[in-house]
Amino acid sequence: MNIIPQGVTAAKPQHPLDPLSPQEIQSAVAIVRESGIGQAMRFVSVALREPEKQFIADYQTGSTWDRQAFVIAYNPDRSETHEWTISLTNQNILLHEILRDVQPNILLDEFIVCEEALKANSEYQAAVRKRGITDMDLVMVDPWSAGNYGDEDNNRQRLVRALSWVRQDPTDNGYAHPLEGLIAVVDLNTMAVVRIEDYGVIPVPKESGNYAVDRVPVLRDDLKPLHVIQPEGPSFTVDGYQIRWQKWNLRIGFTSREGLILHTISYEDNGRVRPIIYRASLAEMVVPYGDPRPQHNRQNAFDAGEYGIGMLANSLELGCDCLGTIRYFDAHLVDSRGKPFTIKNAVCLHEEDFGTLWKHTDWRTNRPEVRRSRRLVISSISTVANYEYGFFWYLYLDGTIQFEVKLTGIVNTGAVNSGDRPKYATLLDDNLMAPIHQHFFNVRLDMQVDGPNNSVVEVHTESEQPGSNNPLGNAFYAKSTILQTEQEAQQIIDPFSARYWKIINPHVLHPKTKEPVAFKIVPGENVLPFAHRESSLVRRAGFITKHLWVTPYNSQELYAAGAYPNQHPGGAGLPSWTQQDRPIIDSDIVVWYTMGHHHVVRPEDWPVMPAAYIGFSLKPSGFFSANPALDVPPQSPLHGSCEV
């Protein structure tokens, strides 16, 4: 992270959706400070206050607009969350609200100071020594969000439940050595240790879990280099934050909470620019664990809403995180003291070969026609303590849009007594274990398929009853139902009926079928939560109980679990909004898709986990008149060989 120097003149943004520059962040903070907020205030985020959708639709290059920032800060002395809307154009405050019943996400410096405060606490030191640890410098502390379980503390304190591990040396993988049974509850407002919970000593696992290249004794020596080269350069062009690739056109954004955002995705079809998605973003994610023991039964982290997935983004590296001809984008954020900082190379843009696009061989003429598939990759990777999450958006030559999460890093660990066979976990070594858990992601899709007014159709397949219409019993057909209201649109996947959902524009008909043009959601891997419906987790993360939600557009409804899930008792976000059961036909709608990865940990996931993949696709379904990739030219490779 590079701190931006003070006193630098702000460059004028090229477009109203461009993320804030470091200078604009600095200006917004200065305006807030001038209002007399005091030195105790901690800045949570400073991000672009996006203009109204209609303004963006009407915007012409060279037009002027009121550039605005949205600032969130927290006063620990008064337990108050503050929100400001700032006019950067006019250098004034447009709106200031004080919220006294919410907690913003945990800040990076709170993690650091929490660890320092805990290591200095005599009661904690004594509990660590009971486990045979004498060097506090080797102890690792991960402050986990405390959640909300009806405790009195939740009403007046900003809490974390800190878990501990220990390294065997300064570069050791400490997650191999958990200090089981030891929990420290810390008030982040005062950095005071509220209490130490000690559920008894379990021997600290001793076996190494190191994975770094200098710790692996023998590396393979027969893996030959694989080079990705584009001698004529990439096929995409970049203008500021606008990206053009083949017939795709879009803009990217970035916030500390959501991370990577895609704006105004459109496709040029025979000279006509056709909008598909106005805004696509990660709306929330939560990781519930299934071990009921005190060390683990409150581990339900909302990695976006409680930590900020963008704040935890990596600086990506050529040849490691991305391969090929790369264009990087930096992310400009703010630290808790109001200083702008930059995460270099937070977003990676490149192209990938993707095998066969289409092929057919006419066996009568023995003439094959084959085209190579290619996709544009827009990605960002975040580290949340032990886990890594890679967020990948793919655009394809055939008009498909795909979202994929790659899960890797180190599984969360605990310890058991030697010889125990844990019911709710997998043994990784003699007394090292990893609990069963799930990862849920919710993606917010502000749709505009060929225009602002859309509807959603549920499609499943049914078998035709035997009879005169089906004399041989082989008939089956796809049945479509328009979803009328928010409650009707709360649905789950059903692979046994081949269920999917179409976002249609009833005002634009396909030239041949005369049906409304559409994109369909094609589900990938998915699961439902196994936590009880009355659990704190499900109350707070109600969005995970359904895979599909649809709401009318509301600029204030951005996050699936509500604006402030940290220590919230539950019910906020999608479960609350959709109680209104608003109509969703032929209107400006937002589609929310939830996907869940179920992780029964394998020994092969240790000490570092091979990437697991989860995602979904948006595929044109009666959007184009025919295969949009017919005009892709054949390719003759410049490099390669064939051995016989």
Sheet holding 92-99, edge to edge: 42-48, 68-75, 80-87, 92-99
Cα distances (Å, whole numbers) of residue 566 to 105, 119, 344, 547, 569? 6, 24, 28, 23, 9
The catalytically annotated residue of 278, 387, 564, 593 is 387
The catalytically annotated residue of 18, 172, 187, 303 is 303
Phi/psi at 310 (nearest 5 deg)? -75, -35
Cα distances (Å, whole numbers) of residue 591 to 495, 552, 560? 20, 9, 11
Cα distances (Å, whole numbers) of residue 125 to 88, 182, 265, 356, 413? 49, 11, 54, 60, 21
Residues 6+ apart with CB under 8 A from 91: 27, 31
Pick from 335, 334, 322, 306: which is nearest to 380 by CA?
322
Contact between 245 and 236 under an 8 Å Cβ cutoff? The reply is: yes
DSSP 196-210: EEE----PPP-S---
Contact between 238 and 351 under an 8 Å Cβ cutoff? The reply is: no
Phi/psi at 576 (nearest 5 deg)? -75, -50
**Residues written for the chain:** 644
Pick from 572, 563, 623: which is nearest to 105 by CA?
563
- Interatomic CA distance for residues 574 and 581, integer angstroms: 11
Rounded to 10 deg, the angle between the 122-130 and 108-119 helix axes is 70
- Interatomic CA distance for residues 433 and 24, integer angstroms: 47
Pick from 195, 183, 198, 196: which is nearest to 142 by CA?
183
Phi/psi at 608 (nearest 5 deg)? -130, 140
- Is 303 noted as a catalytic residue in this protein? yes
Contact between 276 and 29 under an 8 Å Cβ cutoff? The reply is: no
Q: Which residue reads 């589900």 in tokens?
A: 523
Q: Which residues are catalytic?
A: 303, 387
